[in-house]
Amino acid sequence: MRSISEIITLLTNPGIIAVVRAQQTSQVLPLSEALMAGGVNVIEITMTTPNAIAAIREAREKLGERALIGVGTVLDADTCRAAIAAGAEFVVTPICRTELVAIAHSAGVPIMLGAYTPTEAQLAHEAGADFVKIFPADSLGPKYIKALRAPLPHLRIVPTGGVDVANVADFLKAGCAALGVGGSLVSAKILQEANWPELTRRASAFVNAARQARAS
């Protein structure tokens, strides 16, 4: 079993977290393999995926240590516990549900609490969140992250929503710890067509963009 520090290292290097909202449970394994082939080994299976808990359990059993499987869109304590019991190695919530921190940490699992404003972000940090998920980030952009971190440089921020290959560098240079990437990576069209080669190509493009940004 990986430690929290090991999981955090995997989350932030290279820092691309695939946010998966699969249309069918059966898609999770092939899409995960396609992502991994492109270098994206961190996969957040959202609770909006049909039978998400079962999908997390199967992914952990079949992929083992090759991937870091987490759970997203967690809104309550029972879901948090069930996902961790199924094998989720990190927890993500789009809202500032501070009571989930103790549940995750007692299981040795890092957690991202959702926030939108500076006050919410600081509250998430003070509650013990390992990361602050800025959501939705599409209307805010990298400049907002940079402005937010000016007075609050201790925040480890993971924006989700609006992240694409073109702005990966801008978000990372603004000080983000990692990036949550949803539809611009695992698109509905790719899922409908089961176009796993295209998913691998996109994953590789995101990883290369992140590595280049960090190197510069």
Please check whether residue 203 is in contact with residue 34, taking contact to mean a CB–CB distance below 8 angstroms.
Answer: yes
Judge whether 154 lies within some domain: yes
pLDDT band at residue 154 under the 50/70/90 scheme: very high
Percent of the chain surpassing pLDDT 70: 100
Q: Would the pTM of this model clear 0.85, i.e. be above it?
A: yes
Q: What is the pLDDT of residue 131?
A: 98
Query: How far is the C-alpha of 180 from the C-alpha of 164, rounded, in Å?
Result: 10
Judge whether 156 lies within some domain: yes
The separation between CA 4 and the C-alpha centre of its own chain, rounded to angstroms, equals 15
Parallel, antiparallel, or unpaired for β 42-46 and 131-134?
unpaired
Query: How far is the C-alpha of 21 from the C-alpha of 42, rounded, in Å?
Result: 14
Judge whether 31 lies within some domain: yes
Query: How far is the C-alpha of 23 from the C-alpha of 191, rounded, in Å?
Result: 7
The count of C-alpha atoms lying within 13 angstroms of the C-alpha of 199, restricted to the half-sphere facing its C-beta, is: 30
Q: For residue 112, what are the domain limits?
A: 4-211
Q: What is the mean pLDDT of residues 120-131?
A: 98
Which of 125, 181, 180, 113 minimizes the C-alpha distance to 149? Answer: 125
Judge whether 124 lies within some domain: yes
Query: How far is the C-alpha of 119 from the C-alpha of 115, rounded, in Å?
Result: 8
Please check whether residue 156 is in contact with residue 130, taking contact to mean a CB–CB distance below 8 angstroms.
Answer: yes
Residue with tokens 């971190």: 149
Instruction: Provide the 8-state DSSP code for 172.
Output: H
**Tens digits of per-residue pLDDT, 173-214?**
999 999 999 999 999 999 999 999 999 999 999 999 999 999
Judge whether 74 lies within some domain: yes
Query: How far is the C-alpha of 83 from the C-alpha of 47, rounded, in Å?
Result: 9
Beginning with the edge strand found earlier in the chain, give each strand of the sheet holding 111-115 in spatial order: 157-159, 131-134, 111-115, 91-92, 68-72, 42-46, 16-20, 179-181
Judge whether 57 lies within some domain: yes
Q: Which residues are catalytic?
A: 44, 133
Please check whether residue 19 is in contact with residue 186, taking contact to mean a CB–CB distance below 8 angstroms.
Answer: yes
**Tens digits of per-residue pLDDT, 68-85?**
999 999 999 999 999 999
Judge whether 216 lies within some domain: no
Q: What is the pLDDT of residue 157?
A: 98
Q: What is the pLDDT of residue 202?
A: 98
In what helix (H) or strand (E) does residue 160 lie, and over which residues does it extend?
none
Domain count, the chain: 1
**Tens digits of per-residue pLDDT, 25-66?**
999 999 999 999 999 999 999 999 999 999 999 999 999 999
Please check whether residue 160 is in contact with residue 207, taking contact to mean a CB–CB distance below 8 angstroms.
Answer: no
pLDDT band at residue 139 under the 50/70/90 scheme: confident
- Please report, for the domain that includes residue 167, its CATH number: 3.20.20.70
Judge whether 179 lies within some domain: yes
Query: How far is the C-alpha of 216 from the C-alpha of 169, rounded, in Å?
Result: 9
